[in-house]
């Protein structure tokens, strides 16, 4: 191993010494994960004692060992290596069984690991593994805490669409705040590349008979509807083959609705779903598998799917139908949650909140909207239907009609009628949208609505890391399992989760530290049904951002592990009452890998 290491680095030291840039390049050549801040700090610590800003070969070896040869890796290596030099094939098999809980094919797996990760050729030929190879293996994705076979689709994708949680976004076009920030096509590109399957498109009349997308009644900028659809056409199936739902919040005149329909058909072509997959008399939603590579339009619709398909065959250009709010308007058009500049009075809110399932408001009954049949008839399996109450939906709603419910109202329904809510979501797609007062693009926690089966828990898809909503975006890691769609399948058993927090490595140093140090601690949080939600924390490791060590065991009892997420949040303890955020990682409990 020592001879191999020298053979790799010696050519870089032909002049005797190297600078910081060359040091970083040498780390890259050795193909080991490293953080620049820690390498720079270790380099500076050595050269500060000298007059020149260079290090020699022995200095580099010291930096490399300090950063890469983690004590906890060396300890477990020595446990399975009697001579402390190599682990032979049989010892690696023993390690896989005892430490990694591998039960099948350990002989084959051990050989594959050696061939893949052992860098020293002569050791590899002897079917052995050096410390360098062992470190490379433990630092690889093969040892990720996230089960590798759960990152791709592994669940049954042939059930009705309402049986799945769907990765969704709200006001997808906004890349900053909700009042004066810019609308940008990057919002749609970014969401689709992250695997989002339900995008919101807020449509208004634009100049030159071209519909525009922006947050109405605000100062946010505008983008062309046509350009949005071109982005969707380009990126819809880059991250996933499964269907994309375009949730249209339609405020356009009939004339511009026809332009929207024209753009959808001309740009999306065969990707756009314009007819049922089978019988037009739909009694059950199709599956994600059956809808692969299809784009669905979610909008208000006149009449049944069958009537719409007949109209399309006959041609309905220029035809419009006037509908009332209580017939076809969805909650998207209510002013209490989606128009932050025009909130309803407190008295009207209190009045409507007295019952968990209020009837349609009088104002909503009077509201009328003209729908262009050309756009209406593009809606197949995702017809927006105003939510009245659970009983009304059970008696009147068709399987292809879905509801949008405001965050505040939905939260009250969760508390007062959870069983009815679960029964509702088992039949109908249900979207929860944020309250309008979230003008800074903060997110609600979608977990509480996932708990009652809401498939379209919205979140604001952003690239920036504002601390106020970074946690909620991490909770969206629920969709890192099974690739975008997650199957709602509960087995009703209680599980005990036990794990050991061993160590950290190359953590971001505190912004307040000049010596590249931090006082890290780890918060371990469980998100899930109310009975499972809890938080614990580790002890504080003083002055160590490079390799803090905890060796602490945590235990959680989970009532519904299928809906549980575990979040690790690392903070730097600045004082007894204040911590600085350093990093986080969230994943579904059911996707935790043993070992």
Catalytic sites, residue numbers: 170, 215
Burial class from Cβ neighbours inside 10 Å (0-12, 13-18, 19+) for residue 200 reads: buried
Q: Three-state DSSP class for 379? A: coil
Pairing of strands 198-204, 212-213: antiparallel
C-alpha span between 183 and 359 (Å, rounded):
35
∠ Cα 272 277 280 (to 5°)? 110
CA 533 to chain centre: 20
Dihedral angle, C-alpha 110, 114, 115, 121, nearest 10 °: -150
C-alpha span between 339 and 336 (Å, rounded):
7
Cα–Cα distance list, 228 to 184, 188, 489 (Å): 9, 7, 35
Question: Which pair of structure tokens corresponds to residue 534?
Answer: 């809890």
Under 8 Å between Cβ of 470 and 584: yes
C-alpha span between 390 and 380 (Å, rounded):
23
Question: Which pair of structure tokens corresponds to residue 269?
Answer: 């072509």
C-alpha span between 535 and 244 (Å, rounded):
35
C-alpha span between 237 and 271 (Å, rounded):
10
Burial class from Cβ neighbours inside 10 Å (0-12, 13-18, 19+) for residue 117 reads: buried
C-alpha span between 375 and 378 (Å, rounded):
5
C-alpha span between 24 and 569 (Å, rounded):
28
Nearest to 467 by CA among 594, 569, 590, 348: 569
508 DSSP assignment: P
- Which residue, chain included where needed, has tokens 């399932």? 357
Dihedral angle, C-alpha 252, 346, 414, 161, nearest 10 °: 0
Question: Which pair of structure tokens corresponds to residue 339?
Answer: 């128009």
∠ Cα 314 275 153 (to 5°)? 170
- Which residue, chain included where needed, has tokens 């599980």? 495
C-alpha span between 232 and 234 (Å, rounded):
5
Question: Which pair of structure tokens corresponds to residue 169?
Answer: 């976004």
Number of Cβ within 10 Å of residue 535's Cβ equals 11
């Amino acid at each position: 191993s020592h001879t191999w290491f020298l053979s790799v680095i010696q050519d870089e030291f032909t002049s005797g010494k190297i600078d910081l840039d060359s040091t970083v390049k040498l780390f890259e050549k050795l193909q080991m994960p490293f953080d620049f801040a820690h390498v720079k700090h270790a380099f500076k610590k050595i050269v500060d004692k000298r007059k020149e800003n260079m290090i020699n070969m022995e200095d580099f070896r010291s930096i490399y060992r300090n950063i890469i040869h983690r004590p906890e890796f060396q300890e477990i290596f020595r446990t399975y290596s009697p001579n402390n030099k190599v682990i032979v094939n049989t010892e690696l098999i023993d390690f896989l069984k005892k430490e990694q809980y591998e039960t099948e094919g350990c002989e084959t797996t051990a050989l594959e690991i050696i061939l893949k990760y052992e860098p020293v050729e002569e050791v590899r030929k002897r079917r052995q593994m050096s410390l360098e190879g062992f470190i490379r293996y433990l630092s690889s994705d093969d040892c990720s805490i996230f089960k590798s076979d759960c990152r791709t689709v592994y669940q049954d994708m042939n059930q009705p669409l309402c049986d799945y949680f769907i990765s969704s976004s709200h006001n997808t076009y906004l890349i900053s705040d909700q009042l004066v920030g810019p609308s940008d096509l990057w919002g749609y590109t970014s969401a689709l590349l992250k695997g989002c399957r339900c995008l919101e498109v807020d449509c208004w009349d634009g100049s030159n008979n071209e519909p525009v997308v922006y947050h109405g009644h605000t100062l946010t900028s505008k983008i062309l509807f046509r350009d949005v659809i071109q982005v969707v056409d380009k990126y819809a199936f880059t991250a996933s083959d499964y269907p994309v739902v375009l949730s249209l919040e339609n405020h356009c005149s009939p004339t511009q609705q026809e332009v929207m329909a024209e753009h959808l058909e001309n740009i999306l072509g065969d990707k756009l779903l314009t007819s049922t997959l089978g019988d037009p008399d739909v009694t059950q939603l199709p599956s994600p598998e059956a809808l692969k590579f299809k784009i669905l339009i979610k909008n208000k619709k006149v009449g049944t799917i069958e009537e719409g398909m007949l109209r399309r065959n006959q041609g309905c250009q220029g035809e419009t139908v006037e509908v009332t709010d209580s017939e076809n308007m969805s909650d998207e058009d209510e002013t209490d949650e989606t128009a932050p500049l025009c909130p309803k009075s407190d008295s009207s809110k209190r009045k409507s909140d007295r019952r968990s399932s209020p009837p349609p408001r009088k104002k909503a009954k009077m509201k009328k909207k003209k729908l262009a049949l050309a756009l209406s008839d593009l809606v197949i399996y995702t017809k927006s239907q105003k939510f009245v109450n659970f009983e009304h939906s059970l008696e009147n709603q068709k399987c292809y009609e879905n509801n949008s419910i405001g965050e505040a109202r939905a939260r009250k329904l969760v508390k007062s009628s959870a069983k009815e809510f679960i029964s509702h979501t088992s039949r109908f797609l249900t979207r929860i949208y944020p309250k309008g007062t979230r003008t800074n693009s903060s997110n609600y926690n979608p977990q509480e609505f996932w708990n009652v089966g809401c498939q379209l828990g919205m979140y604001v898809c952003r690239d920036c890391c504002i601390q106020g909503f970074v946690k909620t975006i991490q909770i969206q890691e629920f969709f890192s399992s099974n690739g975008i769609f997650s199957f709602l399948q509960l087995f009703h058993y209680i599980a005990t989760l036990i794990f050991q927090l061993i160590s950290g490595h190359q953590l971001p140093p505190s912004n307040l530290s000049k010596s590249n140090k931090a006082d890290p601690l780890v918060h371990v949080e469980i998100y899930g049904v109310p009975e499972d939600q809890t938080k614990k924390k580790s002890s504080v490791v003083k002055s160590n951002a490079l390799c803090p060590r905890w060796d602490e065991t945590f235990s959680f009892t989970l009532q519904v592990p299928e809906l549980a997420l575990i979040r690790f949040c690392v903070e730097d303890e600045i004082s007894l009452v204040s911590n600085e955020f350093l990093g986080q990682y969230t994943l579904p409990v059911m996707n935790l890998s043993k070992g």
